[in-house]
Structure 1
Amino acid sequence: MVYASPGTDASTDPDIDKNIRMFEQGHLPNPIASDSSDKSKGKLGQKTLRRLAQNREAARKSRLRKKAYVQQLENSRLKLNQLEQELQHARQQGIIISTSDDQCRSTSENGALIFNMEYTRWLGEQNKLINELRAAVHSHAGDDDLQSIVNTIMVHNEEFFRLKGVAAKADALHVLSGTWRTPLERCFLWLGGFRPSELLKLLANQLEPLTEQQLASLCNRQQSSQEAEEALSQRMEIIQHSLAETIASQLGRAGAGSSGNAADHTAAALRKIGTMESLLQQADDLRLQSLQQMQRVLTTRQSARALLLVSDYFSRLRALSSLWISRPHSKCVDIDTVVTDP
C-alpha cells in the first residue's frame, strides 16, 4: 500500500495514479485483492479510498506549490535580468563619458544618474514608512510606537537632504532643474524643492485641533520662512542677472579676438553658477529646519498626522502628473473656441 503524507509530493508517483484508476474502475490493487475476507475487504477498501483521496489532495496541493514556486523563480529571474541590464547600461554610459576629454562632464552626468536612482530608492522607502505610520495611526497605536516611526521618518528625510547635498556638489543645475521629479511637481519647485512657508501654511490650515500657542508658533515660523525665501529668491535673481550680463559681455567682445578676456569672463560665469550650489544648500537647510520646528511644536500624534498630510499632498501631485501624462490626445482643442466669455 502506497501512502504519501500531505507534505510529500506524490504527483510524480505512477503507482498512486495506477491505484487510483484501478479503484475507480472497481478493481483493488494486487496486495488488497489477495485478502480472503469480504468484510475485511470492505473495511480495507474504505481506508484505501480515504488514503487515496488524501494522496490525491496532497498531490494537487504539491503541484500548486510547485507551480507557484516556479513562477516566483521566473519573476525573480526576470527582475534580476532587468536590474543587470540597467546596471550594465549605466556602466556603459560611465565608460563612454569617462573616455571623453571632459572629465568634469563625466562627474556631473554620473552624479546626476546616481542621484536619480538614489531618489527612486529613497521614495520607495519613504512610502513604506508612511504606510506603516498610517496603519499605526488608524489602529490607535501608543505614543511610544508612533514616536518611534515619526523619528524614523525624520531621519529618513535628513538622509534625503544629505543625498541632495552630494548631488549638488556634482551638478547643482541638475538638482535645481528638478528633472528627477514629476512634471507637475516641477511647477511648484522653489530652489530645487518645496517652499517651507507653504508647508507650514498647509499644516496650520489642515491640522486640527491646534492650541493657540501651537498655531501662533506655526504662523511665526511661516512668516520667518517666507522672509528667508524672499531673501534667497532675490539673491538668485541677482546671480541670474549678473550671469546674463557676463554672457552678453562675452558676445560683445567676441569679435575683438582677445582670448584672455574671454577666458576670464567664462571663469566668472562658472563661478556665478557655482554660487547657486550655496543657495540650494541654504534652501534645503531652511526646509529641514521647518520640518524639525514642526516636530518640536506638535505633539506625537499631531506630528504623525502632519507627516501623513505632507505625504498625501505630494502623492496627489505625483498622481495628477501621471494622469496628465497618460491623458488621451485623440482630440485637439482650439483655444479660441474654449476661451469664449459671453
Structure 2
Amino acid sequence: MFQKGTTIGSSLGSGHIENWGESGIGDNSQQTDTSTDVDTDDKNQVSFVSFLIFSLYIRLYVFVFCKSSALRRLAQNREAARKSRLRKKAYVQQLENSRLRLAQLEQELQRARQQGIFIATGVSGDIGHSVAGNGVLAFDLDYVHWVDEHQRLINDLRSAVNSSMGDNELRHLVDGVMAHYEEVFQLKSIGTKADVFHMLSGMWKTPVERCFMWLGGFRSSELLKVIGNHLEPLTDQQLMGICNLQQSSQQAEDALSQGMEALQQSLVDTLSASSLGPTSSGNVADYMGQMALAMGKLATLENFIHQADLLRQQTLQQMHRILTARQAARALLVINDYTSRLRALSSLWLARPRE
C-alpha cells in the first residue's frame, strides 16, 4: 500500500508539479508580452513626439524662410520703385532742360536773323535730331554765341585798324581774335563727338557756306588765296612763306580728300560684299558682321574731321607768325568779310521771289 500510495502520491505530486510548472510558464509568458508592449508604446510615443518636434522645426523654418523671402522681395521692389522714380525725375528734368535750351536757341536764332546773321534752317528743321542729341543742340547754341562774340571782336579790330592805334595795342586785339578762333575749334571737337555727321554736313552753317565746305569747314588753301589778294605789299620772305604755307595746306587737303575717298570706297565694298537681297534670305551672322565692320570704318570719320580742323588751326597760326600785326589784322578782317558775304548771299537766295 505504501508503495502504491507512494507511487500514486508521487504520480499526483508529479502531476501537480507539472501542472503548476505549466501554469508558471504561462504566467511568465504573459508578463513578458506585457513588458514588450509597454516598451513598444513608449518608443512609439517618443517617435511621435520627435516627429511632432521635427514637424514644428520644419514649419518654423519654412515660415522664417518665406518671411525673409517676402521681406527681401519687398525691399527689392521698393529699391526698384525708388530707382524708377529717380530715372523718371531725371528724364523729366532732361526734357525740361531741353525745352528751355530749345526756347533759348529759337530766341538766339531770331535775334541773329534780325541782325543779318543767318543760321542754317537745318538747325531748326532738324530739331528732333537736335533734341535727341543734347551735344548737337549745345554746339548749335554755342556757335550762335561764338558768332556774336566774333563779330564784336572784329568790329573792335576794324576800328583799331582805321584809327592811329599803335602796333602793340593792335597786336593785342589780333591775339584776342586768334584766341577766339581756338574756341570754335574746341566747340567743333565736342560737337564732332556728339554727332560727326552733323559736323560733316555743316548744318550749322548757311546754305552757301555749305556749298564751299570741306570736311566740316573752310579750305585753308582757298582762304590763303582770298587773303593774298587783299594784303599790303609783302616782303619776299613773307611772300615765300605764304606760298609755302598754301602749298603745304593744299597737299594736306589732297591727302585727307584721298583718305575720305578711300573710306567711301571701302564702305561700298564692305556693304556690297554679300547678297543685297532681303536679310531674311541671307545669313544673319554674316550680315551683322558686315554691319559691325562698316560701323568701325565710320568711326574713322571723327579722325578725318579732327585732322581737317587741326590743319585749319595750324594754317591760321602760321599765317599769324608770317605777317606783321597790322597785316594779320587786315587778314582777319578779310576772312570775316568773306564769310559775312557768304551769309548775306544765303539770305538773299532764300528771300528771292519765287514764281
Calculate the TM-score normalised by the size of structure 2.
Answer: 0.63
Is the Cα–Cα contact under 8 Å of residues 231 and 327 in structure 2 kept in the other structure?
yes
What SS does the aligned partner of 2:204 have?
coil
Select the residue among 210, 220, 243 that pairs with 2:267: 243
Match of 1:171 among 184, 191, 195: 195
Deviations 1:188-245 (A, max 9, x none): 0000000011111122222121111101110011011101100000000011111122
Q: 1:259 aligns with which of 284, 292, 306?
A: 284
Aligned residue type for 1:323: L
More helix by share: 2
Change (3 A) 1:120 1:251: farther
For 2:327, the equivalent position in structure 1 comes to: 302
Q: Letter of the aligned partner of 1:135 in structure 2?
A: S
Which of 243, 261, 265 aligns to 1:219? It is: 243
Of the two structures, which has the highest relative contact order with CA contacts closer than 8 Å and spacing of 6 or more?
A: 2
Structure 2 counterpart of 1:147, from 146, 157, 171: 171
Is structure 2 residue 101 aligned with structure 1 residue 87?
yes
Structure 2: tracts of 5 or more residues without a match: 1-96, 106-128
1:1-342 equivalence runs, <5 A: 86-87=100-101, 109-249=133-273, 251-252=275-276, 254-330=279-355
3-state SS of 1:206 partner: coil
C-alpha contact (below 8 Å) 2:98/2:134 kept by paired residues: no
What number of residue pairs does the alignment pair up? 235
The offset of 1:88, in angstroms, is 5.9
- How far apart, in 1, do the equivalents of 2:241 and 2:130 lie? 46
Retained in 1: the 8 A contact 2:216–2:305?
yes
Q: Distance in 1 between matches of 2:252 and 2:340?
A: 27
Letter in 1 for 2:191: A
The answer to whether the 8 A contact 1:108-1:171 is kept is no
Contact kept in structure 2, 1:112 and 1:171, CA below 8 Å: yes
Contact persistence 1:197–1:225 (CA under 8 A): yes
Whichever residue aligns with residue 216 of structure 2, its letter is G
Code of the residue aligned with 2:101 in structure 1: it is: L
Greater shift, 258-267 or 299-308, is seen at 258-267
* C-alpha spacing 1:107/1:285, structure 2 compared with 1 (3 Å): farther
Mapped to 2, the partners of 1:170 and 1:157 lie a distance apart of 20
Range 299-308 or range 238-247, more displaced: 238-247
**% identity of equivalent residues:** 51
Q: Which amino acid aligns with 1:204?
A: G
Map of 1:42 onto structure 2: none
Any idea what SS the aligned residue of 2:354 has? coil
**Stretch deviating more after TM superposition (180-189 or 252-261):** 252-261
**More displaced 10-residue stretch of structure 1: 243-252 or 173-182:** 243-252
1:204/1:219 contact within 8 Å kept: no
Further displaced range: 194-203 or 108-117: 108-117
Structure 1 unpaired stretches of 5+: 1-82, 92-104, 331-342
Q: 2:310, 2:132 → 1: CA distance? A: 23
Residues of 2 paired with 1:112 and 1:327: CA distance? 30
CA distance in 1, matches of 2:286, 2:326: 61
Letter in 2 for 1:287: R
Query: Cα distance 1:172–1:251, how it changes in 2: closer, same or farther (>3 A)?
Result: farther
TM-score of the superposed pair, with normalisation by structure 1: 0.65
Q: What SS is found at the alignment partner of 1:210?
A: coil
Report the CA distance shift for 1:89/1:257 in structure 2 as closer, same or farther (over 3 A).
farther
| Amino acid paired to 1:158 | E
Higher alpha-carbon Rg:
2
Q: CA deviation at 1:279?
A: 0.5
Deviates more, 1:200-209 or 1:111-120: 200-209
Query: What is the deviation of 1:108?
Result: 6.7
Contact preservation (8 Å) 2:270, 2:294: yes
**2:192–2:199 CA contact under 8 A, matched in 1:** yes
